[in-house]
Amino acid sequence: MTAPLLSVRGLRKRFGGLVATDGVDLDVVEGEIHALIGPNGAGKTTLITQLFGELTHDEGAIRLSGEEIGALKTPQRVARGLARTFQINQLLPDFSMLDNVALAVQAHAGHSFRFFADARRDEGLRSRARQHLAAAGLSHRAETKVADLSHGEQKQLEFAIALACEPRLLLLDEPMAGLGHAESEQMVAMLSALKGRVTMLLVEHDMDAVFKLADRISVLVYGRVIATGTAEEIRDNPEVRTAYLGEGDA
Ligand SMILES: Nc1ncnc2c1ncn2[C@@H]1O[C@H](COP(=O)(O)OP(=O)(O)OP(=O)(O)O)[C@@H](O)[C@H]1O
């Protein structure tokens, strides 16, 4: 088997007496969409924040392409290819989508662009930003102000901004949350189109979306991965059915 892009071993995080992640082992292979599912409170968000370095872990190892990154701060992890979708409130509401993505390209590119380049004028920055907007299915709305976007479009814009970091592994925490049926379908189409181009670890409660998108699925219960496999394997796994899917989520 090819060495995994992300390899997590024995990751543990305690909040006082509560063990939120309890020795997580997880491998994400280059090119795949790997979904992480599990009941409320299973530790999925805690795991994502530990991977991104916003929360320090108590024990365990996190390796990206074989390099141990567990002691690194978030910006150093981003420099090595990790990205997480930004929160909507970090967008600039009075600027266009294109401006927002161009600013993200500028922030990520650092010295490779002119230091004082104006992201609202520099054609190099804007051309890269247009490519990321196209990948997120937003080309037709590039000049629209963020304040005028629908909730679903704002979520797609988060992707375009995450893509501006040119990630090798994108961490997605519930991208379908709060979306209506049509918006969810659009999001699934957009993620499908990105498949293979960016490796993704996707935390999601929407099982239809998970089963459509994921190459492999890991199930987290009480802070531990109890199973990893294809959609079919996970659906047929009796332990998973009892611990999660049997609850009526699928
Ligand atoms: N900062 C914190 N301090 C104390 N407890 C926390 C903290 N963050 C999370 N927890 C607890 O850790 C456990 C795991 O929470 P987490 O949010 O990671 O679960 P989750 O699987 O993402 O849940 P959901 O699907 O509902 O988002 C929960 O019991 C939660 O209450």
Q: Residue 15 C-alpha to ligand 1 middle, in angstroms? A: 9
Domain 1-81+167-250 bears CATH identifier 1.10.287.1080: no
CA 106 to the chain's CA centroid = 21
Q: Does residue 236 register a pLDDT over 60?
A: yes
Q: Which atom of ligand 1 is nearest to the CA of 47?
A: 18
* Tens-place pLDDT, residues 26-62: 999 999 999 999 999 999 999 999 999 999 999 999 9
CB under 6 Å to ligand 1: residues? 15, 18, 20, 38, 40-46
pLDDT on residue 250: 42
Q: Residue 38 C-alpha to ligand 1 middle, in angstroms? A: 12
CA 205 to the chain's CA centroid = 14
| Mutate-to-test residue for ligand 1 from 18, 49, 204, highest number of ligand atoms within 8 A of CB | 18
* Tens-place pLDDT, residues 75-117: 899 999 999 986 556 788 899 999 999 998 988 877 555 555 6
Q: Which atom of ligand 1 is nearest to the CA of 223?
A: 14
Taken in order 134, 205, 5, 162, is the CA torsion positive or negative? positive
- Band of residue 191 on the pLDDT scale cut at 50, 70, 90: very high
Q: Residue 223 C-alpha to ligand 1 middle, in angstroms? A: 10
Q: Residue 56 C-alpha to ligand 1 middle, in angstroms? A: 14
Residues of the chain with CATH 3.40.50.300: 1-81+167-250, 85-166
For atom 3 of ligand 1, the residue with the nearest CA is 15
Portion of the chain with pLDDT greater than 70, in percent: 92
User: What is the average pLDDT across 144-163?
Assistant: 91
- 1 HSE (CA, 13 A, CB side): 7
pLDDT on residue 90: 73
CATH number of 85-166: 3.40.50.300
Q: Does residue 158 register a pLDDT over 60?
A: yes
Closest by alpha carbon to 76, among 91, 92, 62, 58? 62
Q: Which has more confidence, 29 or 164?
A: 29
Q: Which atom of ligand 1 is nearest to the CA of 43?
A: 18
pTM attached to this predicted model = 0.90
